Amino acid sequence: RKEVEQDPGPFNVPEGATVAFNCTYSNSASQSFFWYRQDCRKEPKLLMSVYSSGNEDGRFTAQLNRASQYISLLIRDSKLSDSATYLCVVNIGRGSTLGRLYFGRGTQLTVWP
């Protein structure tokens, strides 16, 4: 079983739409959670960390449900520039795996005009 499971999409939405991505993780000892964004043929870049209380950064809202081992990302008022692959990332963060990031396969988003 993979550490992080994500629906690969693709998601195709018009500008202004609201879109939600979900992922699940398998290790209940996981400590840190992130969403990374990766543009075509570029490196992943941190979009936002995800906290237990949920957090928001402009049009982006991330939620974490530790009981269900579920992470979500909500994008409101989608822009053309949001088109990218969104990677769900978990850091188990203890013992021999400290600092190792586990990535989902990514969810591809295309926003059309």
Partner 1 sequence: DAGVTQSPTHLIKTRGQQVTLRCSPKSGHDTVSWYQQALGQGPQFIFQYYEEEERQRGNFPDRFSGHQYPNYSSELNVNALLLGDSALYLCASSLYAGTANNEQFFGPGTRLTVL
For binding to partner 1 (CB under 8 A), which residues are involved?
4, 6, 8, 31-32, 41-46, 49, 87, 91-94, 96-106
* Shortest distance (Å) from residue 9 CB to partner 1: 11
* Shortest distance (Å) from residue 12 CB to partner 1: 17
Q: How far apart are CA 7 and CA 27, in angstroms?
A: 18
In this complex, which beta carbon is closest to partner 1, that of residue 44 or of residue 78?
Answer: 44
CA diameter of the chain: 47
Q: How far apart are CA 65 and CA 72, in angstroms?
A: 9
In this complex, which beta carbon is closest to partner 1, that of residue 47 or of residue 75?
Answer: 47
* Shortest distance (Å) from residue 54 CB to partner 1: 17
* Shortest distance (Å) from residue 96 CB to partner 1: 6
In this complex, which beta carbon is closest to partner 1, that of residue 40 or of residue 67?
Answer: 40
In this complex, which beta carbon is closest to partner 1, that of residue 75 or of residue 88?
Answer: 88
Amino acid at position 104, single letter: G
Q: How far apart are CA 55 and CA 78, in angstroms?
A: 18
Residues 6+ apart with CB under 8 A from 66: 28, 52
Q: How far apart are CA 98 and CA 100, in angstroms?
A: 6
